C-alpha cells in the first residue's frame, strides 16, 4: 500500500481554537501511527479575511504543541494550478462562466458555476459510515468568483489531489461540503480520498467552539501556564480514547495508541476545568 498522507488545512481568518487544533492533532497522530506523512496547508485564498498574524499564530501553536508538519504549503501559491483546472472544466463543458445580477454592492457580475449533474453522491466516512446526498438541491454551485479566486470547495480538492492526500480528517461541520467536492473530483478525474469527519466540540455551556464567537486561542492557554504535554494529551481525548484505563499519555504513547477506529461519532465537550486537572498531572 502506498504511503498514508493526512493534512491540516486551516484558514487563517481568525485565531484557531481547541476544536481546530484537535483536528490537527488527530491528523498528525494518525499519520505518525501508520508511518505516514502529515501536511500543513494554510488555506489563505480568502484574501479579504486571511491575516498574516493568524497564520503566524498557527505556526507558533503547532510548534509549541510539537505537532510537526512534514511539508507546509500556502494555498495562494497554487493559483496558477487552480486557474488551469478551472479552464479545463470550462473547456470540458462541466463548468461555465455565469452572468449574475448583483444584489448587493460589490457582488460579481460574473462567477464560475459547476453544472449540476443531478443524482446522488455516496461516500463511506471512516467514522460515520455511508453518507448519501441528493445533489440536485445544490443547484449549479459556484466554484470560483473569478479565474484567480476559486472558492474553498474547488481549491481544497485540487490541493488534496496534488499533495497526494489519502485521508481527509476534518471537522464534522464539513460533511455537508463533501458531496460538492466529490462532484468536482469526479469531473477532474482526481482520486477520491478517504474521509473521516470528527465529532463536533462544544464548550461546557453547549455552544459550538467557533473562531467567530471568540473561542480561546491555544496560545492563551500557554500564556496561562498550561503545558504542551497536557494540552496535547487533552485534545487527543476529545472524541477518542485508547480503549483502556489510561488517561495520561505522552506524545509517543499517543502515536502508538491512536487509531481512527476508536474515534467516536458523538460530540465532545471542551472543559477548562478538566484541562486544568490534566495539566496538574503533567506539572507533577
Ligand atoms: N480550510 C477549511 C477550514 O478551515 C478546512 C478544509 C478541510 O479540512 O477540508 O475549515
pLDDT, tens digit, for every residue of 26-53? 999 999 999 999 999 999 988 889 999 9
Name the band, by pLDDT with cuts 50, 70 and 90, for residue 207. Answer: confident
Name the band, by pLDDT with cuts 50, 70 and 90, for residue 105. Answer: confident
Name the band, by pLDDT with cuts 50, 70 and 90, for residue 214. Answer: low
What is the full DSSP assignment across 67-80?
---SEEEEGGGGHH
Give the HSE-up count for residue 150: Cα atoms under 13 Å, Cβ half-sphere: 28
Q: Give the pLDDT confidence score for residue 209 in this predicted structure.
A: 85
- With H, G, I as helix, E, B as strand and everything else as coil, classify residue 95: strand
CB atoms within 10 A of CB 275: 18
Active-site annotation holder among 51, 115, 208, 211: 211
CA of 43 to the centre of ligand 1 (A): 7
Calculate the alpha carbon distances from 121 to 90, 95, 131, 159, 190 in Å. 22, 18, 8, 21, 15
> For this structure, is 211 an active site residue?
yes
Residues with CB under 6 A from ligand 1: 9-11, 43, 156, 168, 170, 174
Among 6, 7, 9, the mutation site with the greatest number of ligand 1 atoms within 8 A of its Cβ is 9
Q: Give the pLDDT confidence score for residue 16 in this predicted structure.
A: 94
List all residues 6 or more positions away from 245 whose beta carbon is below 8 Å from its beta carbon. none
Amino acid at each position: 500500500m502506498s504511503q498514508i498522507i493526512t493534512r491540516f488545512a486551516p484558514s487563517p481568518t481568525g485565531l484557531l481554537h481547541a476544536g481546530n487544533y484537535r483536528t490537527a492533532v488527530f491528523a498528525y497522530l494518525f499519520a505518525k501511527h501508520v508511518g505516514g506523512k502529515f501536511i500543513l496547508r494554510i488555506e489563505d485564498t480568502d484574501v479579504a479575511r486571511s491575516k498574516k498574524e493568524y497564520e503566524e499564530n498557527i505556526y507558533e501553536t503547532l510548534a509549541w504543541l510539537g505537532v510537526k508538519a512534514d511539508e507546509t504549503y500556502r494555498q495562494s501559491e497554487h493559483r496558477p494550478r487552480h486557474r488551469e483546472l478551472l479552464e479545463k472544466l470550462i473547456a470540458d463543458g462541466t463548468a461555465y462562466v455565469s452572468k449574475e445580477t448583483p444584489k448587493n454592492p460589490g457582488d460579481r457580475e460574473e462567477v464560475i458555476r459547476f453544472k449540476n449533474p443531478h443524482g446522488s453522491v455516496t461516500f463511506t466516512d471512516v467514522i460515520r459510515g455511508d453518507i448519501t446526498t441528493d445533489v440536485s438541491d445544490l443547484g449549479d454551485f459556484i466554484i470560483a468568483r473569478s479565474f484567480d479566486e476559486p472558492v474553498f470547495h474547488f481549491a481544497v480538492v485540487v490541493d488534496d489531489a496534488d499533495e497526494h492526500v489519502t485521508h481527509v480528517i476534518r471537522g464534522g461541520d464539513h460533511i455537508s461540503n463533501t458531496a460538492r467536492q466529490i462532484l468536482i473530483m469526479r469531473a477532474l478525474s482526481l482520486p477520491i480520498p478517504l474521509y473521516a469527519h470528527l465529532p463536533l466540540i462544544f464548550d461546557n455551556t453547549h455552544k459550538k467552539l467557533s473562531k467567530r464567537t471568540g473561542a480561546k486561542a491555544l496560545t492563551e492557554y500557554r500564556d496561562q501556564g498550561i503545558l504542551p504535554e497536557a494540552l496535547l494529551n487533552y485534545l487527543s481525548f476529545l472524541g477518542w480514547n485508547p480503549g483502556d484505563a489510561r488517561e495520561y499519555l505522552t506524545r509517543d504513547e499517543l502515536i502508538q495508541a491512536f487509531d481512527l477506529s476508536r474515534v467516536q461519532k458523538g460530540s465532545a465537550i471542551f472543559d477548562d476545568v478538566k484541562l486544568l486537572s490534566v495539566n496538574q498531572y503533567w506539572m507533577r
